Structure 1
Amino acid sequence: YEIMIKRIILISLVAVFAYYAGIQGITPGNITDWFEGNKITETLKSTLSKTLELAEEKQVAEKAGNLIDDLKENVSD
């Protein structure tokens, strides 16, 4: 029952957006031009690459921390 309500809401939102786009005369070509004009794809790509770099740095830092902890344990033993 809950899933059905979510689907109805989603379909209603899509219908409202489609209706609005139709009234405004917006076409898929216009949307593509807007994305290219605002360099959205380049921004998304650079943001994704920076996010991946930060994730890799965090993994390296965690591994280095674990290695240091292991070395401290070995030295104290």
Structure 2
Amino acid sequence: EDKLTVERARKIQKFLSQPFTVAQVFTGSEGRLVKLEDTIRSFKDVLDGKYDHLPEGAFYMVGDIDDATAKAQRIAAEIAGN
């Protein structure tokens, strides 16, 4: 249970590193605007385990949870292709 809690916390930490428009020059990632309500809902869903099946890396520098899901699919496709 502790391991699962840590995994979810790490996903949340990465998820909250959303790409900001002002940081685009430094990150190379296009900035995204995510509604506060969407961020809170997604945060709760990650905490509740709804996205336990997604790899941690899918949560880094994405806009909303749909972006994280799409990134997870790209990661899986890359792994399957190699």
Smaller-chain TM-score bracket? under 0.3
Higher relative contact order (CA 8 A, sep 6+): 2
Structure number with the higher helix fraction is: 1
Which of the two has higher C-alpha Rg?
1
TM-score (norm 1): 0.26
